[in-house]
Amino acid sequence: MMNDETPVTWRRLWSETTAALGERPSARWLCETASGLDGDEFMAALDEVATERMVAHLDRMVARHRAGEPLAYVMGRWSFRKIDLLVDRRVLIPRPETEWVVEHAMAHARSCASTRLVADLGTGSGAIGLSMAAELPLTGTEVWLTDASSDALDVARANAAGIGRAAANVRFAHGSWFDALDEGLKGRFDVIISNPPYIAPNDPEVDPAVLEWEPASALFAPEEGLADIATIVAGASAWMRPDGMLVIEIGYRQGEAVKVLMNAGGWRDVRVLDDLAGRPRVVTGRTPSS
């Protein structure tokens, strides 16, 4: 981006990066990453001179992003609710819609009297489970993060360091859905939450950048995207307390189909809830009666 040896400030770099990308917020995030400064610290340093190494780092990131690589992977991090996550191609990029899904699970977990046991199935980067651990009371909380991908669990373990003392309440388990959990946990969970693969193979609405960069195993499921959801719905009741809650993120066209699955499984108080864009995004239900 820079073709001369004139010392440059972050104000100038932000302006030139904005021109290169055509988007000011993304340009700022890349400049913050290159500078090692965030938020108010970056704004206070706009008239400071960037080092050659910082400029070179910024140039490489701009080139990668212009070539189509998602911004989160270029920066190597992404914000989710109240935590900052390391992300790379081993895991999905956390979406704002999933933050809303977490909100519903969080409300139920907070209503638990003195203790709460939570499972985040298919955790990926750890966004859901680590948010639950970080925001729930430090005392009496235990959160299990599972994934069939050992690479994804490595990312989640690295991200656990970012939630401080609450990381002591987090457990990791490798395996597919409930196979990852110890049998001794059956009948004990207050909340089971998951953002499973729910996109139908060959769905024409999937963004090409998602197809090229993000892990297909975390995106696509057979049976019109419903196979993994059906597995979770069928298996979850054996692991939950009598008044536990199952929370699943779904595709916006899957609400009725998942509601049918939940009702057939005996789940109580089944609800299909919209995200902030007004699209069906989450299904919740309470543990079936004995």
- Per-residue pLDDT 10s for the chain (290 aa) are 545 567 899 999 999 999 999 999 999 999 999 999 999 999 999 999 999 999 999 999 999 999 999 999 999 999 999 999 999 999 999 999 999 999 999 999 999 989 999 999 999 999 999 999 999 999 999 999 999 999 999 999 999 999 999 999 999 999 999 999 999 999 999 999 999 999 999 899 999 999 999 999 999 999 999 999 999 999 999 999 999 999 999 999 999 999 999 999 999 999 999 998 899 999 999 999 86
Tokens 């939940």 map to which residue? 262
Contact call for residues 249 and 218 (beta carbons, < 8 A): no
φ, ψ at 79 (rounded to 5°) = -85, 145
Contacts of 279 (CB under 8 A, 6+ apart): 252
CA dihedral 59, 61, 64, 70 (to 10 degrees): -150
Count the neighbouring beta carbons within 10 Å of the beta carbon of residue 200. Answer: 20
Alpha helices in 144-245 (DSSP H): 150-160, 208-213, 222-225, 227-236
